[in-house]
Chain A
């Protein structure tokens, strides 16, 4: 489009290119990523040659044509320059200056600044300039004080205007003292500034609230937000930047509508939280246009430009993998014309457990063990435990002996970006360290990452870009599982198990430090277990390398046509070493000073090393065409995509080490050594097309279709078509609404689309054959002195198995009122998932003998809605926004293949069809039995005439009234452990240099539960369990104490079910941006310091459980590694 502008007082634009290239070289060197020969290029205007052949065309047409075929744009006032004059022009690869000279002769002067060409009438120039009556000057800055070049300044009611220079400075001549300046810039709110006798007027621009030009990333491209017809939620890097969460998923919770997240653990570097879109299953992750097969949680936040979530038909363009929604992560790149900037950010902070159940103290423990007959401590002895003065009666808090109260979090990132006409770049280097809480210091996570995104104009319409990103993650933990390949969570479970089983009546340390203290439970020595020195270690070392080469061609012969090709590779190399050490602990008798028989804590010294690699090669070819004819605009895209995956791993194992001095495989004994490996591969092809149509910016339509093939399915079934259609109607562009000034945006969206989900469907089910069995797990047989390898059938082939298909329906309404003082987005969705793989239950009886192959026979649906409400306003220097978000989603089985149950009662217990998916089955608890008489007249709960039931046990409802409590009394007692509802409230404030961001996030409609007998498995009770039933404490919260397992009380019942609704202050950030003036003295462009906290407050009813941890808490009486809150301070510097 031609920019018709009035101008005056244009100052010299920045063209300090050589300096730019020098700094680029330095930054490139610094970041080790000098990938493209950087050269001092001629400017765009010198380099660009234009071919034109126009006859009898107006100057306007010629200028339009030039704008179409090049990046030049013209600034002029059409009142002063006659553009209706007709000219003939024939240019063959000529520089712009020559062409313009030919058109204008001498009546028009032109000045070329980079891509910007300013036309002035040569004769009028001086006379206009001499008309000046008063000169106003000033500086224009953005809300955070950055200088703003290119801002338009217009005198109201006139055609007099100016544009700010590279330093944000402008000068303008005004006709009189009453003049009013109008200052405008794309993306910012226009301002009026009455002159009122001033000569210097500095203006601070504020970003406009609804940015009509805001662009969002969608599948294989970008779209203006106003034109988006699907349900797409976006969060930009700028928003994420001020929130130094530990990982991306923690940053998304509560900020994107439709994201349902349950963050269960606090283990450093732990892979992504259970996050889903609208409660669906595994979502597809796409990073910079390429399917990302790895753990994406650890992608450096500072590298992220934006994150988009495609929730409905918008995802269909990704075809067979997009059925659960798509998360698009886009990384930063340099912008053309962007001066080189260096951003350095550093955060340092501490994390500490949100909560963790505490074990009872020694005196309480002694009292409780006495109560169940496990011990017979006298009152005198218990008093000694309480006072803690007698070393023979210790009172040990094992948790505190093993865990610190807090652990440090450190994050540094240095990045640099900039761009010229020829080349733009973004380099980033980051380091993240998250130590665990263990006092031994042996639990920690380190991440080192780099990224280099470089884009270069190669001439002849070609643009090339090369993105390389690498990441190295190292996770170390004490202890290793010898006999099975446990992951980090298993190892930490061992530590927590020792901590939770160790009795407070044992001292934490022996006088001889070479003899580990015994925790009172078989083989328990928490301090040894939590230390690599004693127990060995698990080191998980993962390296990721992603590279992507993209070549784009903008066809000069047809405006709007472009083609691109991309080759990407994503690689993961992981190496896990688990070195387990045999170790003992020693019971110690304080009175005699003697050590008892050593207890075996870990029986084997062994080494298990696993190396795995995974690689994905993606090739994409894409052609785009955009065309605008009058009010119609059309854009179209076609795409071919080829994905090739391969993985393999290799494991070696030895034990029988005679010494631990050399902790390598070769040093182990030859007996019982083991080595194995595996390999896998698959391939996929997709072809996709998309057409967008918009009429007058009012009626929007998008049609996509994707045709996908996968090697995972039978040849006859492997191709599938995934179409989608979405429509939008921007009501606010209609005249009848345009007149209502209160409404500034109203858009109705509707979409329907199909997508697939192959993640939960077995691959290669169409092939049948045999697999080798692992003999270790019993696959073969020994005859004589030989192990005969066994083979097992892979089962009955199912050539029909294919991805599940989901059909997404979405209806949305976006609105903005009173200049976006209030805006909302509302989406209602329904998703039907069919061809869900399931095993036929009825058609084949058990005597058939084969596990039937999975068949695509089941189906379920999801429904729900999302609502986002936002209020934004500026009052003086105060800029604030308040927003709220609500997501509600539920899933229900439509058909779940199951037997024809003999009666309704059985169906209710065992059936799934027609039932909500998120539910818990169990007994209804009726409180605790208070007397034997009450037990005697109640239903038979233990099927032994209540012989084992005693007062203080849980009483259950006889649901089917048959006089006994058995499996037939199980019924739905509540919702499951996934929240059906998520909500959040976000408040942001900016005042002068200060900013604040507070995010409250919560969830409801789900349950947490645990069911556990106090002394089962030899655990030490937690403090909250001390409120147990006794004949004198009949109002107790928990049942009577039992030594060991009381099946009656442990059954899943409503007794243990807790409403897990919670509200959490997920994030609070307070920052201060140092004033520009101060910055420039320090030779920096900007500086912000801030303090931020994550999960710092929680309101709920399930303590000491964490509401997000749900049922996973305290399995077998072992509390998991606690979930963390953190507080960090940080600084962002820009040079």
Chain B
């Protein structure tokens, strides 16, 4: 009897225990989840969502994604290397477009398929409306998010031509006709961007916290996008029933649209070319280092180690004790393309050049000194100048190229030459680098990336104006404003070539050139040329620091730009996934 009672008690205990436990154990939830319900009623959380949308949008130009020291370097160098602005020194990176290897099965490099962010923006727009935030906040945030979406579509259309326009978040349960979208025409996408920018520019204020989209950022996007559309209409051809190309008859409409947008920015008078320092090359350097200066229309901002990029780590010479360093080398072609101070042709006669390079560079457009690092550039770090000589001629004329050995008390090879990321052209990029940043490491650089700056608007203006009206006082003035600020002699007359040249120099390494050459349809003519290197060697039997230069092919492959590269391949991943998408011709 007693035992039965114990047994009964035990059974009851088990049952009680189980009942209590079940609720407690199985209702556990993850500790890091913010519920959907609160996000749209809370301005801080709604703002946090918007911040994520900004973050996912490739506002940082060549960086694409760029934080914390391990960004996608392929996108960085892809755009500069493919544009023939230089060569990549990272031994594991190959520039697929420059090598002519883009294909249906090899499409990923420089690709951008921003539909994940576009979906998140679309979700934001729908939910923002439903939430309980103030109407004013809703209006402002709505416009900012729509700008980001327009920007995403611009990144897409400039690569692939027409892409599907999706403006509402698709439901996963939607019918296949809705989900399996077809490509819109290239013109439809550009028209969408133009129209969106028009609307947004009437909503957003003229100024906001730096880093946020304003009225003028919207106009700047329109100025750029319409310029692209106009070029494609004028220089491109219509293919795939209009998925690619814009009727030539519409060219002037787009030139005018771009011109109007640029004019609106210029006339507002809110922005001026940065011109703070009398030293012209220093001044040009500081455009990219002085935050929120008078030239900045929109920037991707960085702040401190919690929000940093790795530019200084990747680009500094080794002498500055960077860990990676020397990732990208400007080519001789770009060094040569900077004019002399008086505006004459700046091509250097490398074969007959003896001695230091610095005096020669200082006679060129100051933007060259500001943008290019060469053997003898004064720089921070353990020494006062960059050491980039690749070898030594002995008394007997023998050429020594051995790393880490010395000859006659001096290193045979310059310090910055001695790395497995050897500068392949003899030059490094100086533009954007912070000269006060000693021993940079990954994720320790804070300079902002200028998404839109006033100089581009002047260049857009000049180009559109010239295309519409030919040489005129207004477009000459726009170009000369740029040249004047840069410290190079003004032009007396303007040609299309000169406008394009000025654009390439002023905006060098900022990720414009590749896309410009494509929209002008001049890439085929320009990008089948190999990159050249010019290396310094010092001579034993002359004064110790006398140099000679040797030029040769900088890369071990031949540069290829095929006509079909005016549009990138979508690639088999996207096509296999949606048979309604049509691959671009030639792939």
A844 to B47, alpha carbons, bound, how many Å? 29
A948 to B45, alpha carbons, bound, how many Å? 55
**Which of these, A603, A715, A783, A966, contacts B106 with CB under 8 Å?**
A966
Least distance between B285 CB and chain A CB atoms (Å): 22
| A375 and B402 contacting across the interface, CB-CB below 8 Å | yes
| B54 and A781 contacting across the interface, CB-CB below 8 Å | yes
Least distance between B436 CB and chain A CB atoms (Å): 15
| B172 and A773 contacting across the interface, CB-CB below 8 Å | no
**Which of these, A557, A594, A778, A948, contacts B3 with CB under 8 Å?**
A557
B406 within 8 Å of A (CB atoms):
yes
Nearest to B321 among chain A residues (CB) is A600
A157 within 8 Å of B (CB atoms):
no
Binds B, one of A355-363, A846-854, A871-879, A1120-1128: A846-854
Nearest to A907 among chain B residues (CB) is B576
B418 within 8 Å of A (CB atoms):
yes
B99 within 8 Å of A (CB atoms):
yes
Contacts of B391-434 to chain A: CB distance below 8 A:
400-406, 409, 411, 415, 418-421
Contacts of A889-913 to chain B: CB distance below 8 A:
899-902, 906, 910
Nearest to B94 among chain A residues (CB) is A1047
Contacts of A656-696 to chain B: CB distance below 8 A:
671-672, 674, 678-685, 687
Least distance between A502 CB and chain B CB atoms (Å): 12
Q: Which of A375, A461, A598, A769 has the most CB of B within 10 A?
A: A769
A-contact 0/1 string along B434-457, CB 8 Å cutoff: 000001011110000000000000
Q: A597-B383, A671-B305 are in contact. Are A778 and B7 (CB under 8 A)?
A: no
| A522 and B33 contacting across the interface, CB-CB below 8 Å | no
**Which of these, A506, A709, A787, contacts B22 with CB under 8 Å?**
A709
Q: Which of A597, A640, A679 has the most CB of B within 10 A?
A: A597
- Specify which chain A residues have a CB less than 8 angstroms from the CB of B179 in the assembled complex: 844-845, 848
Least distance between B19 CB and chain A CB atoms (Å): 11
**Which of these, A555, A619, A672, A764, contacts B304 with CB under 8 Å?**
A672
B327 within 8 Å of A (CB atoms):
no
Nearest to A602 among chain B residues (CB) is B323
**Which of these, B50, B105, B382, B556, contacts A966 with CB under 8 Å?**
B105
Nearest to B57 among chain A residues (CB) is A781
B269 within 8 Å of A (CB atoms):
no
| A683 and B323 contacting across the interface, CB-CB below 8 Å | no
Contacts of A576-614 to chain B: CB distance below 8 A:
587, 589, 592, 594, 596-598, 600, 603-604
B17 within 8 Å of A (CB atoms):
yes
- Specify which chain B residues have a CB less than 8 angstroms from the CB of A784 in the assembled complex: 209-211
- Specify which chain B residues have a CB less than 8 angstroms from the CB of A780 in the assembled complex: 48, 51-52, 55, 307
Nearest to A968 among chain B residues (CB) is B105
A557 to B10, alpha carbons, bound, how many Å? 15
| A1017 and B91 contacting across the interface, CB-CB below 8 Å | yes
Q: A773-B52, A783-B210 are in contact. Are A1016 and B164 (CB under 8 A)?
A: no
| B26 and A794 contacting across the interface, CB-CB below 8 Å | no
| A944 and B576 contacting across the interface, CB-CB below 8 Å | no
Nearest to B408 among chain A residues (CB) is A592
A1044 to B51, alpha carbons, bound, how many Å? 42
- Specify which chain A residues have a CB less than 8 angstroms from the CB of B420 in the assembled complex: 521-522, 1017-1018
Nearest to A373 among chain B residues (CB) is B401
A483 to B441, alpha carbons, bound, how many Å? 9
Main SS class of interface, A: loop
A775 to B308, alpha carbons, bound, how many Å? 9
| A778 and B26 contacting across the interface, CB-CB below 8 Å | no
- Specify which chain A residues have a CB less than 8 angstroms from the CB of B441 in the assembled complex: 482-483, 603-604
B271 within 8 Å of A (CB atoms):
no
B61 within 8 Å of A (CB atoms):
no
Contacts of B72-121 to chain A: CB distance below 8 A:
91-92, 94, 99-101, 103, 105-106, 113, 115-120
A598 to B418, alpha carbons, bound, how many Å? 13
| A845 and B66 contacting across the interface, CB-CB below 8 Å | no
Least distance between A747 CB and chain B CB atoms (Å): 36
**Which of these, A563, A684, A793, A1016, contacts B91 with CB under 8 Å?**
A1016
- Specify which chain B residues have a CB less than 8 angstroms from the CB of A687 in the assembled complex: 18
Q: A522-B420, A640-B18, A772-B34 are in contact. Are A847 and B25 (CB under 8 A)?
A: no
- Specify which chain A residues have a CB less than 8 angstroms from the CB of B34 in the assembled complex: 769-772, 791
| B576 and A847 contacting across the interface, CB-CB below 8 Å | no
B492 within 8 Å of A (CB atoms):
no
Q: A846-B115, A944-B100 are in contact. Are A553 and B10 (CB under 8 A)?
A: yes
B166 within 8 Å of A (CB atoms):
yes
Least distance between B265 CB and chain A CB atoms (Å): 21
- Specify which chain B residues have a CB less than 8 angstroms from the CB of A1044 in the assembled complex: 91, 556
Q: Which of A674, A788, A967 has the most CB of B within 10 A?
A: A788
A682 to B32, alpha carbons, bound, how many Å? 13
- Specify which chain A residues have a CB less than 8 angstroms from the CB of B383 in the assembled complex: 597
Q: A787-B303, A796-B172 are in contact. Are A710 and B411 (CB under 8 A)?
A: no
Q: Which of B45, B211, B409 has the most CB of A within 10 A?
A: B211
Nearest to B308 among chain A residues (CB) is A776
Nearest to A1013 among chain B residues (CB) is B91
A514 within 8 Å of B (CB atoms):
no
- Specify which chain A residues have a CB less than 8 angstroms from the CB of B105 in the assembled complex: 966-968
| B36 and A768 contacting across the interface, CB-CB below 8 Å | yes
A520 within 8 Å of B (CB atoms):
yes
- Specify which chain A residues have a CB less than 8 angstroms from the CB of B483 in the assembled complex: none
A685 to B33, alpha carbons, bound, how many Å? 23
| B305 and A520 contacting across the interface, CB-CB below 8 Å | no
A643 to B39, alpha carbons, bound, how many Å? 33
A849 to B573, alpha carbons, bound, how many Å? 14
Q: A522-B420, A603-B321, A845-B181 are in contact. Are A902 and B576 (CB under 8 A)?
A: yes
B577 within 8 Å of A (CB atoms):
yes
Contacts of A711-754 to chain B: CB distance below 8 A:
711, 715, 718
| B406 and A788 contacting across the interface, CB-CB below 8 Å | no
Contacts of B209-248 to chain A: CB distance below 8 A:
209-212
Nearest to B399 among chain A residues (CB) is A376
A782 within 8 Å of B (CB atoms):
yes
| B106 and A769 contacting across the interface, CB-CB below 8 Å | no
A790 within 8 Å of B (CB atoms):
yes
A124 within 8 Å of B (CB atoms):
no
A-contact 0/1 string along B295-338, CB 8 Å cutoff: 00000011111110000000000110111000000000000000
| B65 and A943 contacting across the interface, CB-CB below 8 Å | no
Contacts of A830-845 to chain B: CB distance below 8 A:
841-842, 844-845
Q: Which of B55, B321, B581 has the most CB of A within 10 A?
A: B55
**Which of these, B33, B51, B212, B404, contacts A764 with CB under 8 Å?**
B33
A518 within 8 Å of B (CB atoms):
yes
| B29 and A776 contacting across the interface, CB-CB below 8 Å | no
Nearest to A711 among chain B residues (CB) is B28
| A783 and B439 contacting across the interface, CB-CB below 8 Å | no
| B166 and A849 contacting across the interface, CB-CB below 8 Å | yes
Nearest to A899 among chain B residues (CB) is B576
Nearest to A848 among chain B residues (CB) is B170
- Specify which chain B residues have a CB less than 8 angstroms from the CB of A791 in the assembled complex: 34, 39, 45, 48-49, 52
- Specify which chain A residues have a CB less than 8 angstroms from the CB of B68 in the assembled complex: 776-778
Q: A770-B39, A778-B68 are in contact. Are A597 and B106 (CB under 8 A)?
A: no
- Specify which chain A residues have a CB less than 8 angstroms from the CB of B209 in the assembled complex: 783-784, 786
A779 within 8 Å of B (CB atoms):
yes
B30 within 8 Å of A (CB atoms):
yes
A122 within 8 Å of B (CB atoms):
no
| B32 and A679 contacting across the interface, CB-CB below 8 Å | yes
**Which of these, B14, B103, B180, B305, contacts A845 with CB under 8 Å?**
B180
A518 to B404, alpha carbons, bound, how many Å? 10
- Contacts A847-B166, A1017-B92 supplied; 12 other A-B pairs, CB < 8 Å: A375-B402, A520-B403, A523-B323, A589-B405, A619-B17, A672-B305, A782-B211, A783-B212, A790-B49, A846-B113, A900-B576, A943-B103
A-B contact pairs, 13 of them (CB 8 A): A556-B3, A596-B404, A596-B406, A598-B382, A619-B17, A770-B33, A782-B307, A783-B211, A787-B307, A796-B172, A845-B180, A849-B122, A944-B558
Q: 3 smallest A-B Cβ distances: which pairs?
A: A849-B119, A683-B25, A845-B578
